[in-house]
């Protein structure tokens, strides 16, 4: 593995092949969050609002981890992909808020 990692290194140095460890960590994290989510709902009789926020929070953490590592969004050169997805998510938040406000309040 490359140990010194200076900016002046040629292409081949920067493009060292990554191992599967990080991806397996993301997988285990996703599994754990999924199990907690299902268990929280299966257990029932907990504060409803608390469970909903817990579920949403864990989904967002899981989605972030998968997008950062599995979809390589944490890697350099992903400025425009981030702009694209953040723009999309921004519209989604407005759509969901609008739908909920119009229908239920």
Partner 1 sequence: MSAHEHHAGALPPEPEKATLEGRNKILGFWLFLGAETVLFGTLFSAYLAFRNSVLDGPKPEELFQLPMTFIMTVVLLVSSLTSVFAVQAMHRHKTGQMLGWMAVTIALGAVFLGLEIYEFNEYAHEGHRFTTSAFSSAFYTLVGFHGGHVAFGILWIGLVILQILKKGLTVVTAPKVYVSAIYWHFIDVVWVFIFTVVYLMGKV
Q: Rounded to whole angstroms, how far apart are CA atoms 72 and 69?
A: 5
Binding of partner 1 at residue 36 (CB under 8 A)?
no
Question: Of 8 and 12, which CB lies nearer to partner 1 in the complex structure?
Answer: 12
Binding mask 44-83 for partner 1 (x = CB under 8 A): ----x--xx--xx-xx--xx--xx--xxx----xx-xx-x
DSSP state of 45: -
* Cα-based torsion angle of the residue sequence 89, 90, 93, 97 in order, rounded to the nearest 10 degrees: -160
Q: Is residue 9 close enough to count as binding partner 1 by CB under 8 A?
A: no
29 binds partner 1 (CB under 8 A): no
Of 1 and 42, nearer to partner 1 (C-beta) is: 42
The span from the CA of 12 to the CA of 77, in Å, is 17
Both tokens assigned to 87:
């723009």
Which of 61, 55, 31, 60 is CA-nearest to residue 43? Answer: 55
Cβ atoms of residues 22 and 69 within 8 Å:
yes
Q: Which residues bind partner 1 (CB under 8 A)?
A: 11-12, 15-18, 20, 23-24, 27, 30-31, 34, 37-38, 41-42, 48, 51-52, 55-56, 58-59, 62-63, 66-67, 70-72, 77-78, 80-81, 83-85, 87-89, 91-92, 95-96, 98-100, 102-103
């Amino acid at each position: 593995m490359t140990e010194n990692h200076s900016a002046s290194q040629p292409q081949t140095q920067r493009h060292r092949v990554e191992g599967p460890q990080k991806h397996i960590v993301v997988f285990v994290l996703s599994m754990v969050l999924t199990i907690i989510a299902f268990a929280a709902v299966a257990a029932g009789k907990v504060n409803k609002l608390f469970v909903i926020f817990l579920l949403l929070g864990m989904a967002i953490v899981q989605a972030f981890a998968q997008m950062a590592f599995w979809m390589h969004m944490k890697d350099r050169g992903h400025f425009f992909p981030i702009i694209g997805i953040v723009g999309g998510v921004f519209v989604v938040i407005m759509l969901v808020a609008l739908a909920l406000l119009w229908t239920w309040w």
